[in-house]
Chain A
């Protein structure tokens, strides 16, 4: 009996031994927890880089935004074999949760915003050895956040507006474009004051004061704040900016991967093939080897060669050919912008008319494919490293001309800006145009504006600028829509009061009580 008691005591003591509750404290040491991050200057610098990282995503500047921005505008069309994808570029929005375009672009823009907000919410709490460095980083992040919001509001207009680090339960309020622009103006003005005017070569890709001015000018222009826009543009064209920026001699330098970060570029998204891992890892946010290249080329390469998700409208070819250069040739912008059937004939001095090693194929017929940003590398690779020139000096000059014209009609400065763009490609000054009524254009505000619409289309075709322009000029009268229909039959599907903004992803509307679907969807 006594023995049994001893055994029993032994048994009970075992139970006590195994009850060390601190064993349940296990930390996740696979990475740093947020509680140990955002403590040093280096943490902030890493956080800023993570915002730039969002350029390399399918819904941002790797591919899909090109299809959507160009497809909706009258310079592009999608005839993609993926019907839902091409319908989206034609104002036929059936499934508002369409993943490849609507939700992906939306989601990845907001991820960029989230990353930017994390930096801005922490940067003031951390000691910096160099205050100017802190200010520079704030400027960069405010520029980037504004950049993403600019495209969000261009595409959807009435968007949830998030300026603080998110939490899971957030249901952010919806803002109108005017409300969004007001904040972007404030942020970009701040960025202008904080960013340096120039950067060393090693920092190309980070915005400068000029980039912030340019984006700010675009925001003002979209809100028709011409006076404020002129102030920004003046700095770029006639102020300090003229020391740093100019048109390149060769128009083609704006689209080559060998002439990046040149004087015409105000802001350029840096693409690289450093992470050439061989397969599609674009959207894996946990992969340090994820691609840093762009699929712009694959996305637009001709049918049978690339995905051909987007291509050009034929009217561009006709419009380019309406005017001859001063030396009696066709406008080189046509040659650099698109591939089409008659290129060999139209540019006899350019014998190289092969397209990824192919002659023009009979089944391509009268179709027109986008050439800008193509490297023509054969065989075509998923990605290329060609930087995307998001803000280009030619755009600035034409915006300046437009804003000045809005304020005071075609002033000499406005005409000069327009002519700088024309003369770079050897077109005559507008006054001497062989096709347009130059005299009327330089004397009449409305005529000047109408001509700018054409000049911008030709100078900036297929660069994701046209849709922004069309929205600035208005898409709410039938006459405009009719004119657009004549160039782009996609506008047959355009419904005034509805189609100028995309449907907000339905899951966002459904699950956010503070968000209303855009009108008529």
Chain B
């Protein structure tokens, strides 16, 4: 490779004379100069920005070059210089949507020339979002893109494009400035543009890594002109939603009832009520606080004729709204590019340093599990914290405060990403590019375990120090050759290339017992721990080699076709099957370009269709190799001797092949009513086969250490997406916009692995012809009101179905009519998939004021409320919600059984009692901004001053009784299970930004 690089450098000793052009850009109607318009050379690097007088100056490669002039809200224009050195350009307002340039991977295309399904995220809207990761910030901004954020500081949101296509990995591929990945540590303020490639033909150039779609993110670059300094600061106050849990007094009343019922019905070992602790602890109050998140960005950018730069610093401190959590980030970025003659180069360098305090336990489960009578501190216990006691609170709930204080864990990470490319352009048409990218990640997890307990029945753990180190190197080398030329009415853009990616990761850990303690302070250096040391480590390696090619051809701007092929080889699949070829094809017809098409209110109309296949091999490093576990030990003899054992623990399938996903997409794009209305509709159908999945296998196989990867079955997704937008002005001062996106995805299992026709998990069943994750549960019919009622619940043969039930117990449906309630009575009772999803944005600006409202919703899905299931019926002395009305003889309700300690018969999780309608619509953002009029800001030496306030997640319309209808699911087979997930925070953000 070094040799390659050397050759490359040798070939760049070349320069061509430059020409400088200057001119002025103005509005065609009013003649007003346009400040801040971009002027670039077609196919060239860099560019210039017009000054306040609309003037620009730019060096171009030849006197016959073509300039591209663009400005927000105006139609872009191409102007051939034809030898001129000065040009005045007037732009027509309104047609921005069409001339937008879209990045499609190893190249760009004008939006109007797109043949595949691509969503462009309006990055203007990111400005007012306080999400600390770019993925979370994209929520609701593109159709067919489902973003679910997590409420935990430093944890990234999850993103799925067009439903589940795979059973292992549904995350799209992120390309940040041409590098794979890195979105996790990206500072949203650095982002210039985001495009989402949704169908096979758009994503095809990324081949095997792109089956779930591609998100291409480009960070900012400097523009020609004097240095611009921009500062953005914002402070956000966040709060997490709380359960409405009982306080100690209320709880004791119910708990005594539950004990009385246990005594009355003869639950073994229960002879009296609990001798309650005296405390009244609000565990939510102990753990939750108003989080303050501060985020500051400072950037410097600018450029000259031969190059430009963008440098930014970011500092973020998130105290976390949960006691014991926190996240802290420093970011530094340098983007530069330059050009000399036929040679151009660019580089992006990012360094990010983060520190995360890890939270112990899941508070949303633990809040429910622990009794409110338990005190936070209890000197009688080792470590001094309160927890259950068989006599006073017979409860295994964990003391969350103790968990944070007895086991602090922090996780500093460093991420360095750098890429550099060089490009050689010949004959104005042939561009050869070499791109080198390097990512270095290193992270450490430090754990201190102090002595002390946080739950009943915990043994006396020794104090220990844990140190775990993880580092990885990722190198990407890409060589591409691009031919781009317009010959008469023929437009050709062809690219071919090779990419090679190599990854190495290594983990090492050490645990040492008995750290030294001085007073009550633990010394956290490993040298200061005096006990037994245990250690371990392993490494991971992976490589991918790919060949790619794509041809775009357009005739007369009306007939557009694109063909892509990619050949991928991966080290993650066995030698015989590791190569896969993936091809796709797409075409579009711009009807509005035809002479016969003459509809005055239609500015642009295009039909498109695509079809293609992509592969997926995102499985473990060596899933096809069976290995020996060398950890087992046994003891023999007297005196005891430890003896080494070895065995195979994990089963493997050695015949793994590429997972393939074939997608067909048809779409229509229209621009209407003087470019004010844009409309895009898509219909797609995809079919995945040989799905790679860690499908659970039978326990009787003796497998352990994870289920083996298998090519299991086939899955179909079909759906449609509609994106529509309206943008207009009333007078010269008031502008407004609205956009709506709707999508619907249905999935269906076509085939399951290992020859199975059904696959079950605790709450769900996947069967051929059914959607994944359909709820498969016992059905509650009501509550037995009397002994007579129990007797009357019979099957068709007259058998009493639940003879042991007592009044107040749940009456279940004997689905198979065999006279008993058994596992055969489970039935399909719910669908976790939304009927449709919706995103809505509204915006308006008047003088210096602007307002933006974003909302999104999902409708028609069933959700399993895990918190309600966990709180059920006092069987384990757990807490419960205020306002519950259990069955009692005096108050014989029919929707909630009696409460009883020590008896779980009514509180099983796999019943439809916990299913709810999960539909919701949420106003995720309401952002107000004010830009100080230029005449004032200039007065204090600032170019632009803007201040704003954003309300996030404050309003949600839903009937779901759980904390948050928008949650991260606990796995693809239980997609609708809200298993006490972290709720999304509600927040208010104040921001200030100025440019000078």
* Nearest-Cβ distance from residue A239 to partner chain B, whole angstroms: 26
Residue A434 lies at the interface, judged by CB distance under 8 Å to chain B: no
CA distance A271 to B635 in the complex (A): 7
Complex contact A285–B649 (CB within 8 A): yes
Q: Which of A92, A111, A289 contacts B905 (CB 8 A)?
A: A92
CA distance A227 to B847 in the complex (A): 103
Residue B557 lies at the interface, judged by CB distance under 8 Å to chain A: no
Find chain B residues with CB under 8 A from A365 CB: 271
Known pairs A47-B646, A81-B396; A114 contacts B627 (CB<8 A): no
Q: Which of A47, A86, A110, A205 contacts B637 (CB 8 A)?
A: A205
Interface string of B628-667 (1 = CB under 8 A from A): 1111111111101111111111011100000000000000
Complex contact B424–A170 (CB within 8 A): no
Q: Which of A11-19, A325-333, A395-403, A471-479 contacts B (4 or more CB under 8 A)?
A: A11-19
Complex contact B698–A79 (CB within 8 A): no
Residue B996 lies at the interface, judged by CB distance under 8 Å to chain A: no
Q: For A311, give the chain B residue with the smallest CB separation.
A: B269
CA distance A342 to B383 in the complex (A): 34
CA distance A260 to B8 in the complex (A): 76
Interface residues of A in 3-49 (CB under 8 A from B): 3-4, 7-8, 10-15, 17-19, 21, 23-28, 30-35, 37, 43, 46-49
Q: For B480, give the chain A residue with the smallest CB separation.
A: A15
Counting contact residues on chain A (CB < 8 A from B), the size range is 35 or more
Complex contact A507–B534 (CB within 8 A): no
Complex contact A286–B631 (CB within 8 A): yes
Which of B268, B534, B703, B758 has most chain A Cβ within 10 Å?
Answer: B268
* Nearest-Cβ distance from residue B277 to partner chain A, whole angstroms: 14
Residue B14 lies at the interface, judged by CB distance under 8 Å to chain A: yes
Residue A253 lies at the interface, judged by CB distance under 8 Å to chain B: no
Find chain A residues with CB under 8 A from B758 CB: 510-511
Complex contact A81–B8 (CB within 8 A): no
Interface string of B465-488 (1 = CB under 8 A from A): 000000000000101010000000
Complex contact A274–B457 (CB within 8 A): no
Which of B390, B511, B575 has most chain A Cβ within 10 Å?
Answer: B390
Find chain B residues with CB under 8 A from A508 CB: 698-700
Interface residues of B in 689-728 (CB under 8 A from A): 696-705, 707-708, 710
* Nearest-Cβ distance from residue B897 to partner chain A, whole angstroms: 13
Residue A335 lies at the interface, judged by CB distance under 8 Å to chain B: no
Residue B625 lies at the interface, judged by CB distance under 8 Å to chain A: yes
CA distance A25 to B576 in the complex (A): 11
Residue A197 lies at the interface, judged by CB distance under 8 Å to chain B: no
Find chain A residues with CB under 8 A from B179 CB: none
Complex contact A166–B651 (CB within 8 A): yes
* Nearest-Cβ distance from residue B484 to partner chain A, whole angstroms: 16
Q: For B642, give the chain A residue with the smallest CB separation.
A: A274
Complex contact A23–B502 (CB within 8 A): yes
Find chain A residues with CB under 8 A from B498 CB: 15, 18-19
CA distance A49 to B890 in the complex (A): 63
Interface residues of B in 109-141 (CB under 8 A from A): none
Complex contact B699–A47 (CB within 8 A): no
Complex contact B637–A202 (CB within 8 A): yes
Residue A261 lies at the interface, judged by CB distance under 8 Å to chain B: yes
CA distance A289 to B512 in the complex (A): 12
Q: For A205, give the chain B residue with the smallest CB separation.
A: B636
Q: Which of A93-101, A177-185, A243-251 contacts B (4 or more CB under 8 A)?
A: A93-101
Q: For B5, give the chain A residue with the smallest CB separation.
A: A14
Interface residues of A in 158-189 (CB under 8 A from B): 159-160, 162, 166-172
Find chain A residues with CB under 8 A from B972 CB: none
Q: Which of A124-132, A302-310, A348-356, A420-428 contacts B (4 or more CB under 8 A)?
A: A302-310
Residue A52 lies at the interface, judged by CB distance under 8 Å to chain B: yes
Interface string of B429-456 (1 = CB under 8 A from A): 0101010000000000000010000001
Find chain B residues with CB under 8 A from A34 CB: 626-628, 648
Residue B362 lies at the interface, judged by CB distance under 8 Å to chain A: no
Complex contact B755–A169 (CB within 8 A): yes
Interface string of B7-42 (1 = CB under 8 A from A): 110110010000000000000000000000000000
CA distance A473 to B430 in the complex (A): 90
CA distance A52 to B438 in the complex (A): 47
Find chain B residues with CB under 8 A from A307 CB: 457
Complex contact B823–A506 (CB within 8 A): yes
Interface string of B151-168 (1 = CB under 8 A from A): 000000000000000000
Q: Which of B477, B502, B627, B698 contacts A160 (CB 8 A)?
A: B698
Complex contact A14–B8 (CB within 8 A): yes
Interface string of A277-309 (1 = CB under 8 A from B): 111100011111110100000100001101110
Find chain B residues with CB under 8 A from A28 CB: 621-622, 625, 627
Residue B734 lies at the interface, judged by CB distance under 8 Å to chain A: no
Complex contact A270–B634 (CB within 8 A): yes
CA distance A276 to B390 in the complex (A): 28
Complex contact B641–A202 (CB within 8 A): yes
Complex contact B627–A46 (CB within 8 A): no
Known pairs A277-B532, A292-B635; A33 contacts B641 (CB<8 A): no
Interface string of A45-59 (1 = CB under 8 A from B): 011111111011000
Q: For B752, give the chain A residue with the smallest CB separation.
A: A511
Residue B569 lies at the interface, judged by CB distance under 8 Å to chain A: yes
Which of B545, B625, B646 has most chain A Cβ within 10 Å?
Answer: B646
Q: Which of B88-96, B536-544, B792-800 contacts A (4 or more CB under 8 A)?
A: B536-544
Find chain B residues with CB under 8 A from A96 CB: 823
Q: Which of A43, A95, A159 contacts B908 (CB 8 A)?
A: A95
Residue B427 lies at the interface, judged by CB distance under 8 Å to chain A: yes
CA distance A24 to B121 in the complex (A): 37
CA distance A204 to B497 in the complex (A): 66
Q: Which of B269, B578, B626, B643 contacts A77 (CB 8 A)?
A: B269
Find chain A residues with CB under 8 A from B651 CB: 166-168
* Nearest-Cβ distance from residue A29 to partner chain B, whole angstroms: 8
Residue B246 lies at the interface, judged by CB distance under 8 Å to chain A: no
Residue A134 lies at the interface, judged by CB distance under 8 Å to chain B: no
Known pairs A11-B432, A28-B621; A511 contacts B11 (CB<8 A): no
Residue B903 lies at the interface, judged by CB distance under 8 Å to chain A: yes
Residue A363 lies at the interface, judged by CB distance under 8 Å to chain B: yes
Complex contact B532–A83 (CB within 8 A): no
Complex contact B11–A32 (CB within 8 A): no
Complex contact A26–B545 (CB within 8 A): no
Complex contact B266–A489 (CB within 8 A): yes
Residue A411 lies at the interface, judged by CB distance under 8 Å to chain B: no
Residue B513 lies at the interface, judged by CB distance under 8 Å to chain A: yes
Find chain B residues with CB under 8 A from A489 CB: 266, 268
Find chain B residues with CB under 8 A from A341 CB: none
Interface residues of B in 257-305 (CB under 8 A from A): 266, 268-269, 271
Interface residues of B in 389-421 (CB under 8 A from A): 389-391, 394-396
Q: Which of B759-767, B949-957, B978-986 contacts A (4 or more CB under 8 A)?
A: B759-767
Q: Which of B636, B824, B908 contacts A202 (CB 8 A)?
A: B636
Find chain B residues with CB under 8 A from A168 CB: 651-653, 697, 701, 703, 707-708, 710, 754
Q: List 21 A-B contacts (CB under 8 A).
A: A3-B14, A18-B479, A19-B498, A19-B547, A23-B500, A24-B545, A33-B628, A50-B632, A51-B645, A52-B645, A79-B268, A82-B876, A83-B903, A95-B910, A110-B700, A160-B698, A168-B651, A272-B640, A276-B532, A285-B631, A517-B822
Other A-B pairs beyond A32-B628, A34-B648, A507-B699, 15, CB < 8 Å: A14-B7, A17-B4, A21-B545, A26-B542, A35-B626, A47-B646, A49-B634, A50-B647, A103-B699, A166-B651, A166-B700, A166-B703, A204-B638, A503-B823, A517-B823
B: residues with CB less than 8 A from A are 1, 3-4, 7-8, 10-11, 14, 266, 268-269, 271, 388-391, 394-396, 424, 426-427, 430, 432, 434, 449, 456-457, 459-462, 464, 477, 479, 481, 497-498, 500, 502, 511, 513, 531-532, 534, 536, 538-539, 541-545, 547, 569-571, 575, 578, 621-622, 625-638, 640-649, 651-653, 696-705, 707-708, 710, 754-756, 758-762, 765, 820, 822-824, 875-877, 901-905, 908-910
Closest 4 CB pairs of A and B: A114-B702, A49-B645, A278-B462, A50-B647
